Amino acid sequence: MEANTSCLICGTAENSLVVVFDDAAYGDGLLSIVKRCSKDCQGIGVGFSFKTLAGLAVAYRQARATLRVSTMMEQSDNVFLYERAIQYCLIEAASRSVDIMDFVDPAILHLRDYDTKNGSELAKTLRVYIDSGCNMSACAEIMFTHRNTIRYRISRIAEMANIDFDDYERRLSLAISFRALEMATLDLQNKV
């Protein structure tokens, strides 16, 4: 295998189908064909491209992991890319030996409590702000809120939760925390 190759796993409740293809030869064309043919699939997991046969096993594991966490990912179709699911996959794998809530930054829980008591949206604003790359205009647009309101909320969040938004590691920690909280919430709902 000389060219970049990809592995897709089409999964149903009963079985799964593994498709391996050369990215250069098919590109997005094969993905669109798989999407059309996948009406019976609950989801299609796609791992990273690989160049060697040994990479097939890695891509297969990535695609399987992506299918396991696909319920947490907001998408309009049933094709899930590992590159978009890495954080969920890491949390899901680690949660087999550690409580998911161990991954949640206490600042987020503090903001959620504050929101509940005060009818505010600080935790939601923080999530959207982090997920939009700390872009106030994008955050305001997503939340249908004036940019100055977002600026005020972010300032309030930074003060209340002691968050330095220039600190990449803290932003990453918050992003992972929100995904862990989302997974814990879904896990709790599935147990009820």
Q: First CA to last CA across the chain, in angstroms?
A: 47
Question: Can you read off the two tokens belonging to residue 177?
Answer: 């925390």
Predicted confidence at residue 173, as pLDDT, reads 94
Is residue 11's pLDDT more than 70?
no
Contacts of 67 (CB under 8 A, 6+ apart): 9, 11, 16, 43, 44, 45, 80
Distance of CA 50 to the CA centre of its chain: 22
- Cβ-count burial of 144 within 10 angstroms (0-12 exposed, 13-18 middle, 19+ buried)? exposed
DSSP bridge partners of 19: 8
Helix axes 168-191, 82-94, angle to 10 degrees: 70
Greater confidence (85 vs 116) lies with: 116
What value does the mean pLDDT of the chain take? 81
Contacts of 148 (CB under 8 A, 6+ apart): none
Greater confidence (58 vs 154) lies with: 154
Identity of the residue numbered 92: E
Is residue 20's pLDDT more than 70?
no
Greater confidence (125 vs 94) lies with: 125
Q: Using a pLDDT cut of 70, give the percent of the chain over it.
A: 72
Distance of CA 42 to the CA centre of its chain: 18
5-11 and 16-22 beta bridge pairing: antiparallel
Distance of CA 75 to the CA centre of its chain: 10
Instruction: Name the nearest CA neighbour of 125 among 101, 151, 103.
Output: 151
pLDDT band at 123 (very low <50, low <70, confident <90, very high): very high
HSE (CB half, 13 Å, CA atoms) of 25?
Answer: 9
Greater confidence (65 vs 79) lies with: 65
Predicted confidence at residue 56, as pLDDT, reads 77
Q: Using a pLDDT cut of 90, give the percent of the chain over it.
A: 43
Question: Can you read off the two tokens belonging to residue 174?
Answer: 């918050």
